Each structure stands twice: as structure tokens, then as C-alpha cells.
């Protein structure tokens, strides 16, 4: 003989399960319906390609609403990385699929002065995700950039920076067009 569960109990349990899945906790970061994927093209990053991959991985391990993925040959990329001899600079995002694009100019001048390449990559990718500079700032702030000092190797966004990036990608809706700003990261 099979044991029967009253329908009312099942309905209550199902309602609780659905409610728990739909209603986020007060402390949860905003989550999109689907994670937004941004492709980056590092084919012109020259000697900085591995630093760019490490910087992208740092963001991927830190945020929930957006993922940075290396573009395949011929694929449109929302973020383009170009190595050049000046100081690092980036067009401020947030980059969006099918919308706003960002270009990172990975400057050798900062590397020649002794700044950490992975920190530079993660910092500049932060600009592509829509985060402005936080200068002056401590080494614990990725977006403090050069004011963290030459000895700073922190390439991980802090809690406020993670929350800001997640907020920029909490909705899959396109960001309204705005004037593009070029962020020059000179000290």
C-alpha cells in the first residue's frame, strides 16, 4: 500500500521551494537572468597575452553577472587589447554584447617602470567593465591603479569593485549610449 501525502502539504512545500528559488536573500549580489558573456580579443596584445588571460580569470573568479571569454579567430569581440609603447589607457565601459565596445591600450611604459602586468591587465579590464579609477587608493583596491605602488601585485577586485561590476551587468538590457571616455592611467 502506497503512502499518500496530503495535497495541501505538497502545495505548501512546492510554494516554499519556488519562493526560495525566486526571492534572493537581502545579502545576495544582483543576479541576471543569464550571465552576460563578453569576448576579448588579445591577438594584438603581443607579450602581454598571458597577463590579459590572468586578468580576465581574476574577474571571472570574482564576479557572477559577467564572464570574460577569449574570442576565437573571426569572432566579434566587445573588448580589444592592443599593446603599445605609451601609458595604459582604456575606453570606459561597460562593454556590452552587440553594443558598446572597449579598447584596452596595454602600455609598455608602465611595465618598464616596474608595474605588475597582471595587475595592469585586470585594472584595465575593470575599466572595460565600467569601473572608473579610484585614485589615490591603496594596493587592496584594484582600481587604484598606479597609486597602489610599483610593488603592488594585487590583481583581484575588492568587494566594492566586484559589486559595481556585478551591478553593471545585473540586467541583460543594453546600457544606454553615452559618450565614450578614454581613461589614461598615468600616475
In the structure, how many helices (H) and strands (E) does the chain have?
Answer: 5, 6
1 exposure class (CB count in 10 Å sphere: 0-12, 13-18, 19+): exposed
Do the bridges between strand 182-184 and strand 89-91 make them parallel or antiparallel, or are there none, so unpaired?
antiparallel
Closest among 29, 38, 14 to 93, alpha carbons compared: 38
41: cell is 580579443
Considering 47, 89, 113, 124, which one is annotated as catalytic? Answer: 124
- Decide: 109 and 148 in contact? Cβ < 8 Å: no
Only one residue has cell 569572432, namely 75
CA gyration radius for the chain? 20
Known catalytic residue: 89?
no
Torsion over CA of 168, 140, 117 and 83, rounded to 10 degrees?
40
Q: Give catalytic residue positions.
A: 124
Amino acid at each position: 500500500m502506497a503512502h499518500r501525502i496530503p495535497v495541501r502539504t505538497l502545495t505548501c512545500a512546492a510554494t516554499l521551494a519556488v519562493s526560495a528559488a525566486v526571492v534572493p536573500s537581502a545579502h545576495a549580489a544582483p543576479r541576471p537572468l543569464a550571465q552576460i558573456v563578453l569576448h576579448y580579443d588579445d591577438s594584438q596584445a603581443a607579450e602581454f597575452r598571458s597577463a590579459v588571460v590572468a586578468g580576465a580569470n581574476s574577474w571571472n573568479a570574482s564576479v557572477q553577472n559577467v564572464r570574460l571569454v577569449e574570442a576565437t579567430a573571426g569572432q566579434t569581440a566587445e573588448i580589444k587589447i592592443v599593446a603599445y609603447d605609451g601609458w595604459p589607457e582604456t575606453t570606459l565601459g561597460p562593454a556590452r554584447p552587440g553594443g558598446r565596445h572597449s579598447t584596452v591600450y596595454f602600455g609598455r611604459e608602465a611595465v618598464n617602470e616596474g608595474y605588475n602586468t597582471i595587475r595592469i591587465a585586470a585594472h584595465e579590464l575593470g575599466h572595460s567593465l565600467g569601473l572608473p579609477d579610484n585614485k589615490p587608493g591603496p594596493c587592496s583596491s584594484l582600481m587604484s591603479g598606479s597609486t597602489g605602488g610599483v610593488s603592488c601585485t594585487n590583481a583581484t577586485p575588492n568587494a566594492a569593485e566586484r559589486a559595481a561590476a556585478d551591478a553593471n551587468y545585473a540586467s541583460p538590457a543594453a546600457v544606454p549610449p553615452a559618450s565614450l571616455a578614454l581613461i589614461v592611467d598615468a600616475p
